[in-house]
Amino acid sequence: MLRRNAKPPEPPMDTLAATAIRHPLDPLTEAEIAAVQRLVTGHAGFRDTMRFTLLELVEPAKAAVLAFRPGQGITRSARVVLLDTQSGAILEVLLDLTGGRVEAWRQVETEGQPPIILDDFMKLDRIVKADPRWVAAVKRRGITDADLPLVQVDPFSAGNFGFPEEKGQRLVRAVSYWRESPRDNGYAHPIEGVVAVVDLVHERILTLVDDPVAIPIPRTKRNYDPDSLPPPRTDVKPLSIVQPEGPSFTVDGWDVSWQNWRFRVGFTPREGLVLHRLSFVDQGVARPIIHRASIAEMVVPYADPTTNHFWKNAFDAGEYGLGKLVNALQLGCDCLGTIHYFNVPAADDHGAPFVMENAICMHEEDYGTLWKHYEFRNDVREVRRSRRLVISFFATVGNYDYGFYWYLYQDGTIQLEAKLTGIIQTAAVMPGEPYPWGGMIGEGLGGPTHQHFFCARLHMSLDGEGNTVSEHEFVPRPWGKDNPYGNVFDTTSRVLARERDAAREADGRTGRYWKISNPNKKNVVGAAPAYKLAVTASPLLLAQEGSAIRTRAAFATKHLWVTAADPAERFPAGDFPNQHPGGEGIAAWIEANRPIENADIVLWHNFGHTHVCKPEDMPIMPVEYAGFMLKPSGFLSANPAMDLPRDTEASTSASCCTPAPNSCCE
């Protein structure tokens, strides 16, 4: 996916302003990325052994974005994180692209590491297979010399367990899989009990773990290439989705308008898709809701304590980069209908620019009934169909594939849905024995139980500046004079005034929910306009207090956090979670206990899925879903979708057909 050693275009520095940069939040262009590469590689401190682990736009502060008007001059800045692959040194470089200069060049002091990069993938296979200890270990499990070239070696983020020999090293843990051919699905054939802890800087196996009991490699094939699949079904008839007049959205660069929605599309190497300045037009006025929305972190902890699995706790955003692993989406497969694709400029490990084609897909979908009523007294029957706008991307992180879908609805609802698919991690099991740490997939093959957590970062701007979060739940009222029939229940409400107040868990029994409101405004009934965070049933991190993963992924111990907005606080597990011992991120920030009432706030919502593996998960698991909704709650004066057309000629998929007497088309 990433291109190496590409020759960048070389426009003069003074032409960068003319490269279609129309807004301060526009993603970096290819020309800007090329300029960054020239500035960095031309600096006296640069070495040929350095790699670009991150290259991103430095987004302007919220106040600067709000003050910007079209036609004004735009100042552009970028940030690069360099890794010296020879010394292990980490450097941060800040660049003034408008002035064409390096603003800062400094070494980073951190207990963590930059993310795993493509160069690490490339060198790992060579390092591991050159070590005679590893060769002997896999041969003891039935691997032959002829098998060795086809053995799949996966680089897995190492975590941090306080092992003294690992301190200060840049590491990955390597697990391996037998393959009979290059297209064989290696995850069906795990080599159990052999883990190489690889020092990437000194290019050696630091530690080799070789369990004394050699579990046989499962050999049953579980492939999914076209030649391995069964004959396709013949009873699936064509289903056409057409918009003969084109889509209802308009796109101007990175700016999007659809129905009453207005927003800007952004993209970063770490988060992937970002939505900026999400607003809803109400009576001709664009009212802001969210200043910036993204998935800021992920973590996938495993519940198997054995050699191959206890350390598996992948932070897919911070340790790999969701935006760097984005798929090129395919029409008719990933996206269906009338599609608009966004191509995203990016940088490879050497800082050279390239374009990630079809990185973001945007289209409209029919979504069933939006509102309906039949009144038998006067024979008035009305129904309108719902349509939603979909903005999505997919990232493949090793064995798993994750789709992130933002949905905007005509009634003002916002939804984020994560789609989990791909191939599960697997474990070889002694023939005839059960697998105690998860589900059996087949004879000799198990799937470790694990959890997936996603943390959404929502920098709010609901109806303008000064937002408050309140918590609400439903409680039964005791029997009494004010509840003589026992049917009354109340809704409690309390303001989350400071950061420590706002580390909260959902409670389905009481229907606990949270509202984001603007106390400086009044709605049609004299209350503060608000949106409600509607959470779905979602687990929390189940690892024990004091465990390494609980310390490193503290954000996954609560469903909700609210912090005072700070541009330096972008990632809930900290800036460098790779190999970090933990203690940074949200749990550390809230120790300041800053006021968050009527303030510029960031809402962090943690949601996810606990996965007990089963035979149906192989060879590729059907999609599992996780996510949340934000729904208007006193933000609007009435149902904003009452003006949807009924006439089929005006809107085929957003209305009902003209009915025959006493019938209705839904």
Residues annotated as catalytic (active site), given as ranges: 316, 400
Cα Rg, the chain, nearest whole Å: 27
Question: CA angle, corner 599, sides to 593 and 600, nearest 5?
Answer: 100
Q: How many CA atoms within 13 Å lie on the side-chain side of 527?
A: 13
Q: Which of 620, 191, 225 is nearest to 445 (CA)?
A: 191
Write the burial class of residue 466 (CB in 10 Å: 0-12 exposed, 13-18 middle, 19+ buried).
middle
- Contact call for residues 260 and 640 (beta carbons, < 8 A): yes
Alpha carbon 539 to chain centroid distance?
17
Helix (H, G, I), strand (E, B) or coil at 324: helix
- Residue 285: how many CB atoms within 10 A of its CB? 8
d(CA 91, CA 429): 44
Torsions phi, psi for 532 (to 5 deg): -105, 130
d(CA 299, CA 317): 8
- Residue 140: how many CB atoms within 10 A of its CB? 14
Q: Which of 1, 109, 2 is nearest to 351 (CA)?
A: 2
Give the helix, strand, coil percentages of the chain, each rounded to 5.
Answer: 15, 40, 50
501: left (phi over 0), alpha (psi -120 to 50) or beta: alpha
- Contact call for residues 289 and 280 (beta carbons, < 8 A): yes
Question: CA angle, corner 36, sides to 31 and 40, nearest 5?
Answer: 150
Residue with tokens 């990630």: 356
